[in-house]
Structure 1
Amino acid sequence: MLVANLVRAGLLGALTLVVALGAGDVWVFYVIAVGVGVAETFHDIAAQSIVPAVVPDDRLPKANARLYAVELAANEFAGPPLAGLLVAAGAVVALAVPGGLWVAAVIALALVRGRFAATRRSEDRGGIVEGLRFLWRDRVLRAFAVVVGLFNFASSATYAVLVLYALGDMGLSETGFGWLLTTVAVGSVAGSVVAERVERVLGLRRALLVALVASVVLIAVPAATADPIAVGVAFFVGGAAVMVLNVAMVSLRQRLTPDALRGRVTSGHRLVAWGGKPLGALAGGVVAELLGLRAVFAVMALVALAAVPVLVRGLR
């Protein structure tokens, strides 16, 4: 995590210098964007894997829920307005401040006491393959990866065409579309706040199933109606349900995975679960071209629903 943040800060510092000197070429931006993305992947996998080393097992849902809440609030509510202010101050400032924030993150991490390196097992010689093998052989973890992969495929397909549907069929203005996206963000923050309580009241198995079914609402409602109020409510409920689902899944995956494999199992899960996002976006465009915008939501709701029996079988 420390190295990843140092890399990101260094890349932004280099880009700031390039822009300040007026020597920026578009390919420089591409290269640095890829570098920042790679560093973010390392950081996020490590950040999720380190939580069980800091928090007892029975506190994992609360810890993950709080982390999700802070991350969402920063990404969705604090970040965009700050970005607007920074851009207004100039390109150099807009690039330098995020780099400075990553340096601040390095300082904060350096103050955390403890040794968090995973203890390797004597039989652990398979590298990343060992992590993928463990993920695939555990029926619960395998089900989680497939479920998230199907849902991400479906949701990415709908997001690829959402702006066209919102400004066209729903008749929203650009401002109205921004408010529509805000309902998802607000619902997600609300879901992260209540996730631990939902799991405690319903039980883990029932909370997972209810949250997954409710998450499909996020996809299915626009196929039935273009009413902005109905779609906004559905997006709020869906955003909250997705967050409850994420907190429960991540917490259980952390409990089930040995310390030595946690980073590799997390990366393997994300490879399967997130790898479908670009494919889903492509599929959304194809379905919209062939059948129309509303059909994308109907077809992808069926894809998302296919994850329900997978989860049921995995938790049996």
Structure 2
Amino acid sequence: MARPRLPALLVRSGRPGPDHPAQITRANGQLYATYAAAGVVGPVLAGLLSGAVGPAAALAVDAGTFALSALGLFFVRLRVPAGSSSAPATRAGLAPRSDLLVGVRFLWRHPVLRTLTILLSFLTFLTIGLTDVFIYHVKHELGRSDSAVGHVLAAAAGGTIAAALLVAPARRRLGFGPCWIGAYALGGLAVAGAGLTRDVPALALLVAGYAFGAGMAGICSLSLRQQVTPAPLLGRVTSAFWTLHSALGPLGAAVLTGAVARYGTAPVCLAAGLGCVAVAALATATPVRSPHPGPG
């Protein structure tokens, strides 16, 4: 497949091209950091605007930002790789179910992606309801204000931003497997401790640690999937990946929040956190442990 001239020059000069693993991981980290920063700055600006001109005007400005974003999409131009002109023809007539099955088959045939999908199914079950659990812990068990909830969630965004900034050098130094496994082990330990603490600053630090681990593991997983999946299949593989590993999410959220209502935050967070650590330990005996997974 022919490559554009610029990446070839970068490779010859010793600098990684845009499809190099380090560049893909760094780009995904920047996207994650931007999203997390917007998650903090946006509500702050919304609150200030609502206080200044009222909630109706704030909602109107919010709607305008969506329209502006939609307009901006018209100026996005995607580069079609050379030699991929036949890709649309291979998709002609495929039903959505067939598209999903194509992605599932690719995931199943790749040892690392197959194992990741299975492990993430359990991790999603254990963690998808944690934001609600943290809010409940602050508001109802610690009796703190909405401001304290905001501080804890802001700390979580800070953990995600830190992960986004550090993931590229960490993966370059340690490799995929150690980064992914270590990130979820760290996150699990943070969750286990979060339910036990009665101090909001300590809780914020632990929640930031969990967000750091989840963010680093998520960026590593996303980047690996982009690197090992052929471009014509990437959309279908991504769809299958998210469909499969998110399937247990609604059940997990119901079980987690129901257990907190019955038993309290401490034992539930301890069980969820140790469950994450157990999944990370199990991953060390699977192909996920590889520092540099190949195309399958």
Deviation digits for residues 247-276 of structure 1 (CA, Å, limit 9, x no counterpart): 111111101111111111111111123333
Q: Read off the aligned partner of 2:199 and give its amino acid letter.
A: D
Structure holding more helix per residue: 1
CA distance in 2, matches of 1:300, 1:180: 19
Letter in 1 for 2:31: L
8 Å Cα contact 2:122-2:248 kept in structure 1: yes
Is 1:63 the counterpart of 2:27? The answer is yes
The question of 1:315 aligning with 2:288 is answered: yes
Query: Which one-letter code corresponds to 1:120 in the other structure?
Result: A
When residues 55 and 186 of structure 1 are mapped into structure 2, their CA distance, relative to the original with a 3 A threshold, is: same
Sequence identity percentage: 27
Q: Does 1:120 align with 2:61?
A: no
Which stretch shifts more, 193-202 or 293-302? 293-302
Does the CA-based 8 Å contact 1:218-1:239 persist in structure 2? no
User: Which residue pairs with 1:104 in the alignment?
Assistant: 68
Asked if 1 retains the 8 angstrom alpha-carbon contact of 2:182 and 2:280, the reply is no
Matching residue within 37, 46, 51 for 1:83: 46
| C-alpha displacement of 1:67 | 0.8
Unaligned runs of 5+ in 2: 1-16, 290-296
What's the TM-score, normalizing by structure 1? 0.73
Q: Please give the alpha-carbon distance, in whole angstroms, between the structure 2 residues aligned to 1:112 and 1:290.
A: 50
Q: Assess, with a 3 A threshold, how the Cα gap between structure 1 residues 67 and 289 changes in structure 2: closer, same or farther.
A: closer
| 2:148 is the alignment partner of 1:187 | no
TM-score of the aligned structures, taking structure 2 as reference length: 0.77
- Partner residue, 1:134: 106
Distance 2:151 2:250 in 1: 25
Which amino acid in structure 2 is aligned with residue 240 of structure 1?
A: F
SS across alignment from 2:129: helix
More off after superposition, 234-243 vs 105-114: 105-114
What residue identity is the alignment partner of 1:71? Y
Please list, as runs of the form range in 1=range in 2, the aligned pairs for 1:230-241 lying within 5 A after superposition: 230-241=202-213
Q: 1:277 aligns with which of 249, 259, 266?
A: 249
Q: Is 1:196 equivalent to 2:168 in the alignment? A: yes
Alignment partners' CA distance in 2, 1:144 and 1:164: 30
**Is the 2:188–2:275 Cα contact (8 Å) retained in structure 1?**
no
Structure 2 distance, partners of 1:169, 1:92, is 34
Q: Measure the CA separation in 2 of the matches of 1:55 and 1:101.
A: 30
Q: What do the CA deviations read for 1:39-67 (whole angstroms, capped 9, x no partner)?
A: xxxxxxxxxxxxxxx94133101110011
Matched positions, count: 262
C-alpha distance in structure 2 between counterparts of 1:286 and 1:183, whole Å: 25
Gapped regions of structure 1 (runs ≥ 5)? 1-53
1:188 Cα shift? 0.8
- Do the aligned residues in 2 keep the contact of 1:183 with 1:233 (CA within 8 Å)? yes
Q: Determine which of 207, 219, 240 is the counterpart of 2:179.
A: 207
